[in-house]
Structure 1
Amino acid sequence: MHPAFSVVFFTTATGAGYGLLALLGVLGGLGFIQPDFWLGLAGMALALGLIAAGLLSSTGHLGRPERAWRAFSQWRSSWLSREGVASVATFIPAGLFGIGWVLLGSTGGWVAVAGLLAAVGAVVTVCATGMIYASLKPIAQWHSRYTLPAYLIFSGMTGSVLLNALLQGFAVGSTAMLAGALLATLAGWAWKLATWRYNDRLEIPTTANTATGLAGGTVRSIEWPHTEENYLLKEMGFRIARKHSAKLRRITQALAFAAPALLLAIAFALSWPFTAGVSVLATLLQFAGMLVERWLFFAEAKHTVTLYYGRE
């Protein structure tokens, strides 16, 4: 699939934003993170800012962005529409939680309820995003048991690393939060390795023979249906060299997982403000690494429509 940067940024930014929002809603609403105006303002602004930036970026991949609102009407059958509805609906409890936790400095009661609802909305939205890709049967690399959990794991991972950096920046970080961010990063790394292993061993049963129903011999295309590249090939026929894929996988592991995990481990032995600096650096590296990981997620996917153009 063609890895459009607008969609790559969308999945990375909203994943981190919803992960951070869910953690703030639960930990802040239940009083595990004490109310503080500037901390709360920075956290909510960062979470909602990432979400809004990602959603706006996603419209850049539409042929007619001004018609994006029409997608909301198909929520009964479309995961894309369900994602849009869930993303907008989540802003309501998130706004109420922000008012109570940030402006009023309250926890528990209706603030906790709003925070939990915001967290639920964030999880539902991330699930809908993951199902957009997991539900596509023509793309075997996505239509697997690894896709949806990956979206949830990566959202929790980037959200926890972001929250740790935020708390460390305000000198209210904790060993528990630091350990949680480290464990989430290691979990994301393990899941990504398992996904790559599955995809590399994947045997796609669909061939030109099965597509045409001609069992005897080998079916091949004599000539292309078009004389030049069209929309289908541009969007679904993207090809990446094996050597480039291997190199980008190493970059992904280094930036998104290995470097952040090492920095977070080092942070245990440091004192503030060095812990804050290391935590922020881990966040920046991980975000850059996840952009590469998302790019690969699209680039390595193969749509069966390319069989129509003589590609195996």
Structure 2
Amino acid sequence: MKPALSIILFTTIAGAAQGMVVALALATLAGMAPATALAPLLWAATGMLLVALVASFFHLGHPLRAWRTVLMWRTSWMSREVIVLPAFIALVGGWALLATLAQRDAVAPHWLAGMAIVGAVLLWYCTAMIYACIRFIQEWAHPLTVVNYTTLGLASGFVTAGALAVMAGEPGFASDIAPWALAATALAWFTRTLSLRRNARLKPKSTTQTATGIQAARVVQKSMGMTGGSFNTREFFHGASAHAMRMARTGFQVLAFALPILLLAWALLSGSALAWLLALGSQAAGLLAERWFFFAQARHPQNIYYQAVS
């Protein structure tokens, strides 16, 4: 599939914001929420969610008609996401407002933290199911799609929370969640590796014969039939070489997982603020590459006919 920049930005930024809200909610439930940085971090998460929402509009052909998507909530995961996302933004924004107006003990009730966790998980599930429910895209049609959206969001959220806490003058909170960030990043790497190995073993269910209706034993494509290109050739194939795909696969694993784990270990042992910032930058770049790879690796059956050019 052809990766869309707007969707890459939306899923990456929103996922990190959701993970940061979960980190703050868990810290609240554990009685270790940052005293002075809770409100700024919640406002940062709200802002990230709003930026992600705006980014998603650039993928729409008619943004003014976006409201119509809610009408199909009974059958469409995208409609459900459109409903859950604003509700989650309102919940996080409301929590941020309460944290701004009152003392920490008064703005961190367990029920609010619990609702925030439920909202984040529900939004991850809705977003991931948009892709996991497409059965003819084998790379996506698996429970690991939902698992990876969740674990990647948790990893990026904990790292973002720690880095922003350091910048907000709360190094103690960053030190408290450093083991969580390290564990979440390691878990995300493990689950993503499982999906990479699974996808590498997949065999297309369609063939050139089934794509063209020609039942000869050997069918060789000489032309896609359109010298000027079409919607099919532009929107369903990324155009990257096999070498570029291999480089992207290796690159995002190094940037999103391996390097942040080393940097988080450094932060955990030394309390270094620089380590947090480097981990945030590396993981952000890696997850953008990972999300590009997620879309690019998906093979649409129509490409058996359309992607080759003589």
- If the length of structure 2 is used for normalisation, what is the TM-score? 0.90
Partner of 1:291: 288
Partner of 1:116: 114
Q: What pairs with 1:152-301 in structure 2 (closer than 5 Å)?
A: 152-169=150-167, 170-173=170-173, 175-211=175-211, 217-218=217-218, 224=224, 226-271=226-271, 275-301=272-298
CA gap of 1:72–1:23, structure 2 versus 1, over 3 A, is same
Given the alignment, which residue of 299, 303, 306 partners 1:306?
303
Shift in Å at residue 210 of structure 1? Answer: 3.6
Shift in Å at residue 311 of structure 1? Answer: 5.2
Give deviations 1:184-209, integer Å, cap 9, x for gaps.
11111122222211111111222233
Match of 1:172, SS state, is: helix
d(CA) in 1 for partners of 2:249 and 2:220? 32
Output the amino acid matched with 1:151: Y
d(CA) in 2 for partners of 1:157 and 1:87? 20
d(CA) in 2 for partners of 1:112 and 1:251? 40
Shift in Å at residue 6 of structure 1? Answer: 1.1
Unpaired segments of 5 or more residues in structure 2?
none
Shift in Å at residue 309 of structure 1? Answer: 2.7
CA gap of 1:224–1:2, structure 2 versus 1, over 3 A, is same
d(CA) in 2 for partners of 1:184 and 1:200? 24
Give deviations 1:17-53, integer Å, cap 9, x for gaps.
111112223423x3623463x4123201221111111
Worse-matched range after superposition: 91-100 or 113-122 = 91-100
Worse-matched range after superposition: 169-178 or 210-219 = 210-219
Given the alignment, which residue of 85, 93, 96 partners 1:95?
93
Shift in Å at residue 226 of structure 1? Answer: 3.8
Aligned residues: 307
Indicate conservation of the 8 Å contact 1:82/1:128, yes or no. yes
Given the alignment, which residue of 44, 50, 53 partners 2:48?
50
Partner of 1:85: 83
Partner of 2:131: 133
Output the amino acid matched with 2:149: Y
Output the amino acid matched with 2:207: T
Q: RMSD over aligned Cα, in angstroms?
A: 2.4
d(CA) in 1 for partners of 2:37 and 2:282? 22
Give deviations 1:203-256, integer Å, cap 9, x for gaps.
122223345666563456675454421112211122321111111222212211
Match of 2:270, SS state, is: coil
d(CA) in 2 for partners of 1:171 and 1:52? 27
Give deviations 1:160-204, integer Å, cap 9, x for gaps.
111222333422226541111111111111222222111111112
Q: Quick one: percent identity of the two aligned structures?
A: 32
- If the length of structure 1 is used for normalisation, what is the TM-score? 0.89
Output the amino acid matched with 1:173: F
Indicate conservation of the 8 Å contact 1:25/1:97, yes or no. no
